[in-house]
Amino acid sequence: SQQGEEDPQALSIQEGENATMNCSYKTSINNLQWYRQNSGRGLVHLILIRSNEREKHSGRLRVTLDTSKKSSSLLITASRAADTASYFCATDRMNYGGATNKLIFGTGTLLAVQP
Amino acid sequence: DTEVTQTPKHLVMGMTNKKSLKCEQHMGHRAMYWYKQKAKKPPELMFVYSYEKLSINESVPSRFSPECPNSSLLNLHLHALQPEDSALYLCASSFTNNEQFFGPGTRLTVL
């Protein structure tokens, strides 16, 4: 399977704490993206980090990328109950050869933030 | 307009029915996608359209038939589905090599 792996599979924290999710992948990539999905709904794009970037910030989100280890992490700081959702990493493979990007999603982390 | 819309929200169909899922975006994206997502699993790519031409078919059974009538619309025609095809069907669109914008999905149940 080309699917990436995420860990932990599930994470439960208290409001105000930080949440860290990790993603490992198998192939060389153009970029890695993180998405959020509330239960049974569509995915919302959070952040995109390109293969030549090592760290990126967006609000309370911090993403790191280590292409030598084929891994990425997503840190959510000062979590809120509204952050409760599933989080997926998705890799956009290098040299796919098409005019479109083909995303391979990781297995996902289910985050529960307790008020 | 930064939204991808999908209709219907829910669909229940028998194995002999023919139905269609619809997706629309007005963001000028020239790539559109269909994904299938089973409960507690990540989305799996089914089809990709680029500039209204089918560019990727991930070995999807022929009972699923995609169509892209114009740059804003994407359809998924369903015929003779099986109960195991019950899932959330997600549509997305994007500019090339950028983030994808997802619709809310159609929850499909095949009886």
Q: Dihedral angle at the C-alpha atoms of A43, B64, B46, B103, nearest 10 degrees?
A: -20
Q: Do A100 and B107 touch (CB under 8 A)?
A: no
Residue A102: its chain B contacts at CB < 8 A? Answer: 45, 48, 56
Percent of chain A's residues with pLDDT above 90: 76
pLDDT digits (tens, 9 = 90+) for B44-86: 999 999 999 998 888 899 999 999 999 999 999 999 999 999 9
**A chain contacts of residue B2, beta-carbon cutoff 8 Å:** none
Please state the length of chain A. Answer: 115
Q: Coil, strand or helix: which one is B62?
A: coil
**Structure confidence at residue A3 (pLDDT):** 64
B105/A31 touch (CB, cutoff 8 Å), yes or no: no
Whole-angstrom CA distances from A84 to A73, A114, B12, B86 are 17, 8, 29, 25
Structure tokens at B33: 């996608």
User: Does A44 reach chain B within 8 Å, measured CB to CB?
Assistant: yes
pLDDT in tens, B101-110: 999 999 999 9
- CB contact set of B100 (below 8 Å; sequence gap of 6+): A33, A43, A45, A101, A103, B33, B92, B93, B94
Is the pLDDT confidence value at A97 over 60?
A: no
Chain B interface includes A100 (CB < 8 A): yes
Q: Average the pLDDT over A86-104 and give the result.
A: 77
Q: Looking at the predicted structure, is the pLDDT value of residue A11 above 70?
A: yes
| Sequence-distant (≥ 6) Cβ neighbours of residue B12 within 8 angstroms | B108, B109, B111
- pLDDT attached to residue A93: 76
CB contact under 8 A, B48 and A102: yes
Six-digit token pair at A115?
A: 């008020």
